Amino acid sequence: VDALKSTFVSSVGQHVNEFERKIAEFTGAHYVVATNNGTAALHTALCLAGVQCGDEVITQPLTFVATCNAIRYCGAEPLFID
């Protein structure tokens, strides 16, 4: 609620740090990274999964463009499987 009441708008800072800490506490996770959108979350997940340039990543053809964008941001190729 404090974040909504404040005029501070950012993807970093005390409110984000507090959110990450509370999510880690709630889930028992060692690390939590808040992202500002789904594309950034997918890109982060793919990088952490070790997806690299030249890899093929299986995805479905009926998806939002962010899925393929995140794959391409890693230098990988989307492989559409239905």
What are residue 79's DSSP bridge partners?
58
pLDDT tens per residue across span 3-40: 767 776 677 778 889 999 999 999 999 999 999 899 99
Co-location of 5 and 27 in the same domain = yes
> In this structure, are 17 and 45 located in the same domain?
no
Inter-CA distances, 58 with 4, 43, 61, Å: 38, 14, 10
Supply the pLDDT for residue 81. 95
- Whether residues 45 and 71 fall in one domain: yes
Residues 61 and 50 in one domain: yes
Query: Phi then psi for 20, rounded to 5 degrees?
Result: -60, -40
Task: Based on the fold, state whether residues 22 and 56 are members of the same structural domain.
Answer: no
Q: Is the pLDDT of residue 47 over 70?
A: yes
% of the chain with per-residue pLDDT over 90 = 76
**Helices vs. strands in the chain: H and E counts, helices first:** 4, 2
Contacts for 65 with CB less than 8 Å, ≥ 6 apart: none
48 and 61 share one domain: yes
Number of domains composing the chain = 2
Please give the Cα distance from 80 to 78 (Å, whole number): 6
Containing structural domain, residue 13: 1-34
